[in-house]
Each structure stands twice: as structure tokens, then as C-alpha cells.
Structure 1
Amino acid sequence: MDQRDRRARVAVAGAYFVQGFCFAGLLTQVAALQRKFGFDDTQLSLVLLAVPVVAGVGSVVAGLLSARFGSSPVLRAGGPGVCLAIALAGFAAQRWQLYVALALVGLMLGLVDATMNMQGVGVERRYRRPVLNSFHAAWSAGAILGALATSGTAHLGWSIGASLGAVAAAGVALALLAGPGQLRRAEEALQMPAATQAAVETRIPWRPIVLIGVAMMLMFIADSAVSNWSSVFIEKALHASTSVAALGLAAYQTTMLLGRTAGDRLVSRFSPTAVVSVGGVVGGLGLVLVAASGTPALSIAGFAVVGLGLSLVVPQSFSAAGRLDPAGTGIAIARVNLFNYVGFVVGAGMIGAVAESLSLRWAFVIPAVLVAGIVALAPAFRTHAPESPTRSPSPASPPSPPSSAEAAPAG
């Protein structure tokens, strides 16, 4: 690796950080937005459902634009776009204004989620070793600070608009600072003739993408329960204040950060299959603890266990998808990323329906059962590049490496 690779790694980590910071800043205001606009649990679930639906559209658009222009221009536009969108949500005074703002949030989230992972896989390819977990650790670090920002501003009595406006302003500044260091289009992928690249793209297999994607979907059902409903559960079911309720997501993201910080070493030592399998078991136990909790402190501890268990599922999903796309086109990543939003759509709708018909406690039991599927799907993370025509990589873009001892060489 050289100075350019290190600069790209810092810049891409900055994009992940901003995304996590803004996303958590908004999610920890869900209970406050519910009160402000008078949504019942069913109405709230429908509002939350719309965001990942639009984000799925954004992910598809990101794949199309990135194939033509590279992922960096899309990411550099989408990062500040997310910040602007959450600020608009905070200052919305009527329901229709909130709907428009959340639609923009979804579109920008989709653009950024897909392109930041394209950039992350590109950096991992250049490093020739696992580094993607560290980027998702940066996302978690940003999410922790975003949750703590809500907790702090709520304690000071700030309005939703003031709180999200402050988060957005900081996010814009960081996004603009990180943008110039991202990988340019020529640096993201292997250099090959257009005909050869087209042949490689057609060889990207659907079956492993679907299996990996389903595992990611199950993870995001659980993540949706935690991200969208943790503050509501702690505040409504356990009768805590807004500042305390925000700590559930902060605890979840803190242990996500810890798991992802150690993740690259764990994957190198034990393989993607092992860390995903064990993580699914731990995550399920954490959700059971949340459902059984009788105090805010115990529920926060449960959310922390969930975060630790599920911390490596998402980065390993994108890493596995990247190994299926040795040309670095971003196609496999964009496809897998769609399951992210399917999980959020299913999670938001299902959790809201269960909360309305039964209780918020039962809303955490369902994902506890579903994450068992992650354990069953863990072998799908043992991926390698499909067979492709002979190619000669450019010096700036080395061949795609295995991201664990279990992955076969790209070729």
C-alpha cells in the first residue's frame, strides 16, 4: 500500500462516519417525531416503511450512475444530501412536509449506502487484506455520536429542528472534507477492455448474492427493530425519559463499534463463516434479553449484546459481494445492498404490526427467532471470484485479494 491508499482509506472512513452520524441523529428522534405529529404505532410504522422503500430506489440509481461515472461523484453528492434531508425532517411543521423530507432522506441514504460500500470494497481490494470492517466501525462511531447528540440536546431542551440542524451542519462539513480523498473511477476497479469487462459483469452469479442478501435482510430486520423502536420501547414501555431512551441505540452502536474494530482480525483468523455464525447466535440472545427486560438499564444491556453479535454481518456481506465482482463494477454490491432495504421494509412493517396488535416486547421476540437464519446462511459468505477472461491489472489497481483465509483467490 502507499500514501494514496492510506489517504483513500481515511476519506472513505469519513463518508461512513457521516452516514452513521446523521442516520442515528434522525432515528433517535423517532419517538419525539411520533409525539410531535400524533402518529399511532401503525401510522409510525408506515412512515418508517416508506424510507427504505425509497432508499431501494436510491440504491438502484447509485448502481446505474456509478457504472457510468464512478462511485465517488455520487457519494460526494449524496453525503451532504443526507445531511440536508434530516435537517428538513427536523424543521418540518406539517405531516406533508415530513413526508417529503423523509422521501429525500430515503433517496440520499440509498445513494450513499451503495456508493460508500463500493468505495470501501475498492480500498479493501487495493489493501489486499480485510479492511471493510474498519469502515463499518467508523459508521458505528458516527452513529454513537449521533445518538449521544440527541441525548445531549434533549437534556438541554433543544427542539427537534435545532438538534437535527446541528447534526446536519457538522455532517456537511465532514462530508465535504472527506470527498476529495475518495477513489477516482480509474482507481476503483481493475483496468480491462470494455468487452472483457462486459463478459465479467455477466458472470456475476445471482445465487450467492441472494443467499448473502437474505442473511443481510434478516440482520436488518433486527437492526430495524433496534434502530426504529429502541427509543420508543424504552420511553413508552419502560417509562424512561427521551435522554435515557436514546442510550439504547447508543449502546447498540457502541458494541457494533467494538465488534467491527476487532472484525478484520477475527475474519482473518477464523473466516467469515465462523464470525457470522457465532454472531447470529449472540445477536438472537440479545434480542431475547431486550424482550424480557423490566428496566431501562437491562434493555440497554440487551441492545448492547445485539450490537456485538450482529456487528460483522453487514461488512462481511459487502466484502463477500465484492469478491464476486473482480472487475470492481459495483454491480454485486448494489444488488446485495437492496436486501438492506428489504430488511428495513419488512422490519418496520412487521414490528409496527406486532407492537400494535400485541406489544412492543413481542416486537423484539420475532427478530430474535429470525436471526437464527443468519446462522444457517453463514456458509454462503465463503465466496470467491467467478471465472473470468484473462486480464492484466493496472499498477494502481491490484488484483482482488481474498478477504479471509477461507476465500479463494480472485481470478
Structure 2
Amino acid sequence: MPRDRQARIATFAVFFVQGLAFSTLLTQVAALQRRHGLSEGELTLLLLVVPVIAGVGSVVAGQVAARWGSRFMILYVQPLACVAVALTGWAANVPFLVAALVLFGLGLGGVDAGMNMQGTAVERRYARPVMTGFHALWSLAAVIGAAWASNAAGQGLDLGPVFTIAMVPAVIISLAANRWLCGPAEEHVESVAQTPRVKVPWGPILPLCLAMAFLYVGDASVSNFGSVYFDQALRAEAWLAPWALGAYQAATFVVRVGGDAAVRRFGPATIVRVGGAVAALGFLLIVLAPGEVTAIAGFALTGVGLSVVAPQSFSAAGRLDPAGTGVAIARVNMFNYVGFIVGAALVGGIGDAAGFQAAFVAPLILAAGIVVLARGFASPVRRPRADDPAIGRTP
């Protein structure tokens, strides 16, 4: 129906903006380190600011969305995240940089939770897997951000203009798409008044949370230290550094394009199990890489494997919350930042002590752990009832 398509297109737009903002900032970590003269330890501490604050933002997002819906939250929080990225580029000193990263963390956590709530609402309306497609566009936006960063580095542009040029259209897209997102009446299967004390058990959610944390240890290692790895371990030229994340996200995008069809055919548990094994193989290539070509192949293979875990975690969490409150999704999303915190501290600490090639052994081991956790994704897809308000066409 037209309303379903409107909501899906708007959700695509929100995912695209989030991927662009994230990639625009994270592909320039090495440049920020050089600009502010940060040591490896200082960089690690600075990178911890974002996931810690984002975790707080995710928890708040769950409470706000349960009452007013995630569209209300995204309207204000996503533009805030984009503005914070631009401010990071203009930061003249470390205190200014920290303040900008705090703002970005709040926006990141709120939008990460909110956009996946929207994705779950759309998936419920379609009554078939569509979540991976949203994450595919996030990855495409991240590739665009990496390409822009690489081109800007080759031209010697300053970080302030680089970040601002990317974020101005991102804010416009976010604001334009918001009016088409699912409202509270469409997002919540039951009203808050009908379910004042919604309880979502932790037991079935825990494997999803752990898989999300393990995934984001690996994702954090690529996002935070991929460019540093190229710069310090491989001594690569500056224009190559953004392609650690670029290759990772390009492979992620390609796999996610066909991800929903694969889930329908093989089931989420099988897809996640194979993904964990492939990701572990990719990290092994990064650890053993003799040069840039092998390293890029390793980052790409890691993207292939990890690409399926996050969308299936959120989709499974949505099935465990039939009232559509967003509580389960907010919990799973919180472990996104647990993984980022552990990943930044663990990989950064090992890299500081033993070098960044050795540091990628840690996410290798945890990626293999996702294979064991995959059985927790085997919950059957919930089919909507004929009287389910979620399949209503307009609020």
C-alpha cells in the first residue's frame, strides 16, 4: 500500500543519513589524531566518549519512544548528530573536540535505537523480512562517506569543510523524511495505556545482546582503528587509510542488498552462524596481512561476515516485543555501545602495547563466538493478526 511504501522510503532515508554521519567522522580518526597531537592512549580514551554517551542516549530513546514514538525523537536527535559531526571538524582544541563528541554520542544512540524501531514497525507492516535492506543503505552511505574522505584527503582539504559539506544535505534529507516515518499509532501495536507495564524477559534477548556486543567489538576495531592500522602497521599513503572502513562497508552493503532474501530462504540462525565464521576468517587475514591489498581483502571479508548480525539482532528483538514498545530493541542497541566501548579499549590497548596487527586477534576470537550464539536467532517470524493495528494503513 502507498502508506507502507512511504514509511519504508522514509526509514531508508534515516538509515542513509546515519551511515553518512558515522562514516564521515570515523574515517577521519587518524587525521583527528594528527591534528590534535593525541597519543594512542589519549585517542583510545577519546574514542570511548562516543559509545559511553551513546549508550545513555539509547536508554533514553527507549523511554521516549515507548511514550511518544521514535519519529518524535528522530526529528530532533538526528539533526543534532549531524551538527555535532560538523563541529568535530571545526574543533580547535581537545576540550572543544570532546564536547562535540558528547553531542554526537547522544545523537548516535538516540537515532540508532529510533531508526531500528522504525525498521521493525515497517517489517511488521510488510509481514516479511525487510530489516537487512535498511542496513544495506546505511552501509552504502558509509561507503560514500569513506569515498568523500579519501577524495578530500587527496586534495588536502581541512576537516571543517570536509565534515560540513557532507552534513548539510544530511540534515535536509532527515528533516524531509521525518513526516513519512511511522507515527505512534502505527508503531505501537498496543497503546501505552493498554500496556502500562510491558515486561520483556531478558533470557531470550541475551544471546542477541552478546552477539551484538561481539559484532561491535569487531566493528569498532575497523571503524576506530582501521585507518590507524593502515597508517602505523602498514605505513600506507594517506589516501589509502579511509579504505579500511570503505572496503568493510562496501562488502557489507553488497551482502545486505540480498540479505533479506537469504534470511527468508535459510533462516536467521543459519545466516548469523555463517556470518560469524566468515568474519573470523576476515580478521585472520588482517592479522597476517603482508601489505595493503591483503589487508583490504581482509576488511572486506570481515564486512561480509558481520553485515548480517546487526539487522537480524534487531529483527529478532522486535519479534520478542509483540506490543511494539521498542523496549527490546533499545536493550539490544545498548550492547552495540558495550561492544564499541570494549572494542575501543581492548583493541586500542593491545595496539598501543603490541601493534595494531596483533590487536585484531581480539575481534577475531569474538567473531568466532557469534557462531555459538547463532541458535538464539532461530525464533519464528511473527505473523500479524487480522485485527493487528500495526497493519492499519493510516493513523
Query: Normalising to structure 1: TM-score of the pair?
Result: 0.92
CA distance in 1, matches of 2:329, 2:46: 27
User: Measured at CA, do residues 28 and 379 of structure 1 come closer, stay the same or move farther in structure 2, by a change above 3 Å?
Assistant: same
CA distance in 1, matches of 2:363, 2:24: 23
State which drifts further: 350-359 or 240-249. Answer: 240-249
Say which of 296, 321, 324 aligns to 1:325: 321
State which drifts further: 242-251 or 281-290. Answer: 242-251
Equivalent runs, 1:74-223 vs 2, <5 Å: 74-191=73-190, 194-195=193-194, 197-198=195-196, 201-202=198-199, 204-223=200-219
Contact 1:279 1:310 in 2 (8 A): yes
Contact 1:291 1:362 in 2 (8 A): yes
CA distance in 2, matches of 1:395, 1:81: 29
CA distance in 1, matches of 2:280, 2:192: 47
CA distance in 1, matches of 2:380, 2:21: 34
State which drifts further: 268-277 or 206-215. Answer: 206-215
CA distance in 2, matches of 1:230, 1:93: 24
Is 1:289 aligned to residue 316 of structure 2? no
- For residue 108 of structure 1, report the CA deviation from its aligned partner: 0.4
CA distance in 1, matches of 2:258, 2:150: 27
Contact 2:186 2:390 in 1 (8 A): no
Deviations 1:363-383 (A, max 9, x none): 111110111110000000122
Q: Quick one: which amino acid aligns to residue 65 of structure 1?
A: V
What secondary structure sits across from 1:361 in the alignment? helix
Partner of 1:339: 335
What secondary structure sits across from 2:17 in the alignment? helix
Is 1:10 aligned to residue 9 of structure 2? yes
CA distance in 1, matches of 2:192, 2:325: 13
Query: Normalising to structure 2: TM-score of the pair?
Result: 0.96
CA distance in 1, matches of 2:67, 2:266: 37
Contact 1:192 1:393 in 2 (8 A): no
- For residue 318 of structure 1, report the CA deviation from its aligned partner: 0.1
State which drifts further: 238-247 or 52-61. Answer: 238-247
Say which of 267, 275, 279 aligns to 2:275: 279
CA distance in 2, matches of 1:174, 1:255: 25
CA distance in 2, matches of 1:303, 1:259: 14
- For residue 146 of structure 1, report the CA deviation from its aligned partner: 0.7
What secondary structure sits across from 1:304 in the alignment? helix
Contact 1:222 1:347 in 2 (8 A): yes
CA distance in 2, matches of 1:209, 1:384: 14
Contact 2:212 2:335 in 1 (8 A): yes
Is 1:31 aligned to residue 9 of structure 2? no
- For residue 194 of structure 1, report the CA deviation from its aligned partner: 2.6
Contact 2:187 2:390 in 1 (8 A): no
Q: Quick one: which amino acid aligns to residue 59 of structure 1?
A: S
What secondary structure sits across from 2:236 in the alignment? coil
Partner of 2:388: 393
- For residue 392 of structure 1, report the CA deviation from its aligned partner: 4.3
- For residue 191 of structure 1, report the CA deviation from its aligned partner: 3.7
Contact 1:192 1:391 in 2 (8 A): no
Contact 2:131 2:315 in 1 (8 A): yes
RMSD over equivalenced CA pairs, Å: 1.6
- For residue 394 of structure 1, report the CA deviation from its aligned partner: 2.4
CA distance in 1, matches of 2:38, 2:317: 38
User: Measured at CA, do residues 273 and 43 of structure 1 come closer, stay the same or move farther in structure 2, by a change above 3 Å?
Assistant: same
CA distance in 1, matches of 2:236, 2:391: 53
Q: Give 5+ residue unaligned stretches, structure 2.
A: none
Partner of 1:404: none
CA distance in 2, matches of 1:396, 1:251: 38
Q: Quick one: which amino acid aligns to residue 239 of structure 2?
A: S
User: Measured at CA, do residues 115 and 192 of structure 1 come closer, stay the same or move farther in structure 2, by a change above 3 Å?
Assistant: closer
Q: Quick one: which amino acid aligns to residue 389 of structure 2?
A: S
Q: Quick one: which amino acid aligns to residue 393 of structure 1?
A: D
Q: Give 5+ residue unaligned stretches, structure 1.
A: 399-411
User: Measured at CA, do residues 385 and 327 of structure 1 come closer, stay the same or move farther in structure 2, by a change above 3 Å?
Assistant: farther
Q: Quick one: which amino acid aligns to residue 133 of structure 2?
A: S
Partner of 1:409: none
Partner of 1:266: 262
CA distance in 1, matches of 2:106, 2:216: 18
CA distance in 1, matches of 2:192, 2:367: 42
CA distance in 1, matches of 2:192, 2:304: 43
What secondary structure sits across from 1:234 in the alignment? helix
What secondary structure sits across from 2:379 in the alignment? coil
CA distance in 2, matches of 1:61, 1:242: 38
Partner of 1:44: 43
Say which of 310, 313, 316 aligns to 2:309: 313
Count of residues paired in the alignment: 391
Q: Quick one: which amino acid aligns to residue 102 of structure 1?
A: L
CA distance in 2, matches of 1:315, 1:77: 24
Is 1:71 aligned to residue 70 of structure 2? yes
